[in-house]
Amino acid sequence: SQQGEEDPQALSIQEGENATMNCSYKTSINNLQWYRQNSGRGLVHLILIRSNEREKHSGRLRVTLDTSKKSSSLLITASRAADTASYFCATVPYGNNRLAFGKGNQVVVIP
């Protein structure tokens, strides 16, 4: 069953603006990962944050994790048209070895 729940579901922004997506989950986790998917094809791993980490950066990406609220956020700074995609959060539940995906967040960056 889906564990992650992203909010908002769809986001439309101008190029250069920042995009923020949120994800909530229900159970204890080992780590949380964010993936990008273009046009219904394969997913690309963006960033992984462990349960004992609170914030992580990778290029223009910033991920936060609040295990007390069971939530995470993904911030894309200075967005580009090429960032147009669906973004999924996925948890690795504690004691489990699978990815549990949310429903995804569609982001459209207008040039």
Partner 1 sequence: ETGVTQSPTHLIKTRGQQVTLRCSSQSGHNTVSWYQQALGQGPQFIFQYYREEENGRGNFPPRFSGLQFPNYSSELNVNALELDDSALYLCASRTGGMGYGYTFGSGTRLTVV
* Contact footprint for partner 1 (CB under 8 A): 1-2, 4, 30-31, 33, 35, 40-45, 48, 50, 88, 90, 92, 96-104
Question: Which residue's CB is nearer to partner 1, number 19 or number 43?
Answer: 43
Strands 105-110 and 10-14: parallel
Question: Which residue's CB is nearer to partner 1, number 18 or number 30?
Answer: 30
Considering the complex, what minimum distance in angstroms separates the CB of residue 14 from partner 1?
Answer: 25
Longest dimension (CA), the chain: 43
Contact partners, residue 36, CB within 8 Å, separation at least 6: 43, 44, 46, 85, 86, 87, 88
Question: Which residue's CB is nearer to partner 1, number 11 or number 100?
Answer: 100
Phi-psi region of 70 (alpha: psi -120 to 50; beta: other; left: phi over 0): left
Question: Which residue's CB is nearer to partner 1, number 2 or number 28?
Answer: 2
Nearest to 73 by CA among 16, 18, 27: 18
